[in-house]
Amino acid sequence: MPRKTINQIEVASQRVLMRVDFNVPMDDSGAITDDRRIKLALPSIRSVIDRGGRLVLMSHRGRPMGNGYESALSLKPASDRLGQMLEGVRVIFPGEDCIGDDARKSVEALGDGEILMLENLRFHAQEKAGEVNFATRLASFGDIYCNEAFGTAHRSDASMVTVPLAMEGKPRVAGLLLQRELTFLREAIEHPKRPFVVLLGGAKVSDKIGAIHNLIGNVDTILVGGAMAYTLLQAVDHDLGASLVEPDKVEEARRIIEEAKSSMTELLLPRDHVCGKELSHQSPVKVTDGPDIPDDWLGLDIGPLTREAYIKKISTARTIIWNGPMGVFEIPPFDEGTNQLARAIVSATESGAISIVGGGDSAAAVEALGLANGFSHVSTGGGASLHMLEGRKLLSVELID
């Protein structure tokens, strides 16, 4: 359902408390290696300051201990980068405590068209805990709440849920990126053009079980790759050598396979594999000629027959959603399955399919290949888009007007 966006309300001289997702990767020297998340929030940020609003930005970064300031996880570099992008607009950064007196005084002194960025919310354990007093303090910094953090939209952190709850009665709106993410994913999931094909990969089947259950009966084809495929193959009695299998999920995997058989959804599993002896560039490589993996070998990518079969499905699809890489894409040659499927999705998109790659590692793979522009939508939220594939509501989004 469409939500009210930041563009649709008056913001002049109002303090807009905007939750963004500036959880950007940095190298050891503290330099930002990918500022896409900051760039994508710019339209919402500009919408506030260009109309004379007073913008208070809040975000988390990384996984701090939750008991105070940690310089390696400060949001200062993100705040500085935002200032550079906005050319000439100063971003006030009041320092080490997002709810401290310095922060409060700076918020009170904020003028029309000015921006302030609070320090990493997760320096307080209360953020993850959704604690009410912490949230009330943050809520007092805004007249308007704006959710522009799709990457965290599936979480119940204070800034996502308890803060908007504490601001009931005040306008609570969606950022423009959040709205775009929701529209793309909802449209694809609820009104897909068929055939509707979903690719699921990544390390663990346990992360994707909810999505598979929900997709069976709703999508035409599920293509499974990555290590998660091995637990499903184990469930139909294949040998997987030393590959990553989740033994406690084999029974559930068996049920999934049965469920798919009696539904309209075809669930395709790898027919062959590219294997290695270890997770390294130097590893010997073996391609199997069937779904079994010999002892002492690790399955690390989908094999050529599997790629061919999956590419065939992708080429006739009209809606494609992809979550999770098909192999260990970080280490060539085990990136080949992921790369070839990414290219196949781009060419299906050129022929008119809607394609969405859902955050995390698959989005990173697509970016690294320079193929991001070939997709209809590259999501900023792996977890949140998976949540939507599971058919679950995003509580933080439910709280928006």
Shortest reach from residue 211's CB to ligand AMP, in Å: 11
Select 15 or 37, whichever has its Cβ closest to ligand AMP: 37
Select 151 or 202, whichever has its Cβ closest to ligand AMP: 202
Of these residues, 170, 204, 318, 343, which one is catalytic?
A: 204
Q: Taking contact as CB under 6 A, which single stretch among the options 31-39, 64-72, 319-327, 348-356 is the one that binds ligand AMP?
A: 319-327
Strand 298-302: give its sheet, edge to edge. Answer: 285-287, 273-276, 298-302
3-state secondary structure of 22: coil
Q: Identify the residue among 16, 167, 267, 300 touching ligand AMP (CB under 6 A).
A: 300
State yes or no: is 324 an active-site residue.
no
202 binds ligand AMP (CB under 6 A): yes
State yes or no: is 382 an active-site residue.
no
Q: Taking contact as CB under 6 A, which single stretch among the options 24-32, 138-146, 258-266, 327-335 is the one that binds ligand AMP?
A: 327-335
299 binds ligand AMP (CB under 6 A): yes
**How far lies 348's CA from each of 59, 136, 315, 345, in Å?**
36, 48, 5, 5
Give 266's strand partners: 221
Among 216, 339, 328, CA closest to 277: 328
Of these residues, 303, 360, 374, 382, which one is catalytic?
A: 360
227 binds ligand AMP (CB under 6 A): yes
The DSSP annotation for 184-205 comes to HHHHHHHS--SSEEEEE-SS-S
Shortest reach from residue 228's CB to ligand AMP, in Å: 7
Select 266 or 330, whichever has its Cβ closest to ligand AMP: 330
Of these residues, 3, 37, 249, 307, which one is catalytic?
A: 37
114 binds ligand AMP (CB under 6 A): no
Angle between helices 36-49 and 176-190 (to 10 degrees): 120
HSE, CB side, 13 Å, CA atoms: give it for residue 125.
Answer: 3
**Phi, psi for residue 215 in degrees, rounded to 5:** -80, -30
Select 74 or 379, whichever has its Cβ closest to ligand AMP: 379
x/- mask, ligand AMP, residues 361-380, rule CB under 6 A, reads x-------------------
Number of residue whose CB is nearest ligand AMP: 202
* Sign of the alpha-carbon dihedral angle for 155, 253, 229, 297: positive
Q: Annotate 100-131 with b (16+ C-beta within 10 A) or e (fewer).
A: eeebeebbeebeebbbbbbbbbbbbebbbebb
Q: Enter the DSSP assignment of 162.
A: I
204 binds ligand AMP (CB under 6 A): yes
Q: Enter the DSSP assignment of 160.
A: I
Select 110 or 300, whichever has its Cβ closest to ligand AMP: 300
Q: Taking contact as CB under 6 A, which single stretch among the options 77-85, 154-162, 211-219, 324-332 is the one that binds ligand AMP?
A: 324-332
C-alpha dihedral, 235 to 305 to 202 to 321, nearest 10°: -110
x/- mask, ligand AMP, residues 329-358, rule CB under 6 A, reads -x----------------------------
Select 146 or 298, whichever has its Cβ closest to ligand AMP: 298
Spatial distance between the Cα atoms of 115 and 22, rounded to a whole number of angstroms: 15
3-state secondary structure of 103: helix
Among 195, 141, 178, 180, CA closest to 163: 141
Residues with a catalytic annotation lie at 37, 204, 360, 383
Which residues sit at the interface with ligand AMP, rule CB under 6 A? 202-204, 207, 226-227, 244, 299-300, 324-325, 327-328, 330, 360-361
